[in-house]
Structure 1
Amino acid sequence: MKKPHCLLFDCDGTLVDSEPLLAAEMATSLTRLGLPFAPSDYMGEFRGARFVNIVTELQRRHGDVDPQRLRDSEADMRRKLAKRLATELQPLEGVRDALDALAPYPRAVVSNGPENKIRAGLLATGLSDYFGDKLFSGYTANCWKPDPCLYLHAASIMGFRPDECVAIDDSIVGVKAALAAGMIVIHLNRFPDAEMTPDGAVAISSMYQLPTIVANLTREPALLS
Structure 2
Amino acid sequence: MAKPRCLLFDCDGTLVDSEPLLAAELASSLSDAGLPFSPSDYMGEFRGARFVNIVTELQRRHGEVDPQRLKDSEAEMRRKLADRLATELQPLEGVREALDALAAYPRAVVSNGPETKIRTGLAATGLSDYFGDKLFSGYTANCWKPDPCLYLHAASIMGFRPSECVAIDDSIVGVKAALSAGMTVIHLNRFADAESTPEGAIAISSMYQLPTIIANLVREPEMCHELLPVIHSALTAR
For this structure pair, what is the TM-score category when the shorter chain's length is used for normalisation? over 0.9
For these two proteins, the number of residue pairs brought into alignment is 223
1:122-151 CA distance string (max 9 Å, x none): 000000000000000000000000000000
RMSD: 1.0
Give the alignment's TM-score, normalised by structure 2. 0.93
Aligned to 2:192: 192
1:142-187 CA distance string (max 9 Å, x none): 0000000000000000000000000000000000000000000000
Structure 1 residue 208 and structure 2 residue 208: aligned?
yes
The alpha carbon displacement at 1:33 in A equals 1.1
CA distance in 2, matches of 1:159, 1:199: 27
1:58-96 CA distance string (max 9 Å, x none): 000001011011100000000000000000000000000
- Given residue 18 of structure 1, which amino acid in structure 2 is its aligned partner? S
1:19-65 CA distance string (max 9 Å, x none): 00000000000001110000000000000000000000000000101
Structure 1 residue 37 and structure 2 residue 37: aligned?
yes
Structure 1 residue 117 and structure 2 residue 117: aligned?
yes
CA distance in 2, matches of 1:146, 1:29: 24
CA distance in 2, matches of 1:11, 1:57: 24
| SS at 1:168 equivalent | strand
The alpha carbon displacement at 1:221 in A equals 3.9
Aligned to 1:137: 137
Which of structures 1 and 2 has the bigger CA Rg? 2
Aligned to 1:65: 65
Aligned to 1:182: 182
Structure 1 residue 146 and structure 2 residue 142: aligned?
no
- Given residue 8 of structure 1, which amino acid in structure 2 is its aligned partner? L
Aligned to 1:93: 93
CA distance in 1, matches of 2:123, 2:201: 30
Unaligned stretches of 5+ residues in structure 1: none
| SS at 1:220 equivalent | helix
1:171-222 CA distance string (max 9 Å, x none): 0000000000000000000000011000000000000000000000000149
Change in 2 beyond 3 A, CA 1:76/1:219: same
Aligned to 1:108: 108
CA distance in 2, matches of 1:175, 1:49: 12
CA distance in 1, matches of 2:31, 2:221: 47
Q: Stretches of 4+ moved more than 2 A in 1?
A: none
- Given residue 128 of structure 1, which amino acid in structure 2 is its aligned partner? S
CA distance in 2, matches of 1:159, 1:3: 15
CA distance in 2, matches of 1:164, 1:221: 12
Unaligned stretches of 5+ residues in structure 2: 224-238
CA distance in 2, matches of 1:222, 1:130: 28
Aligned to 2:235: none
| SS at 2:185 equivalent | strand
Structure 1 residue 3 and structure 2 residue 14: aligned?
no
| SS at 2:14 equivalent | coil
Aligned sequence identity (%): 87
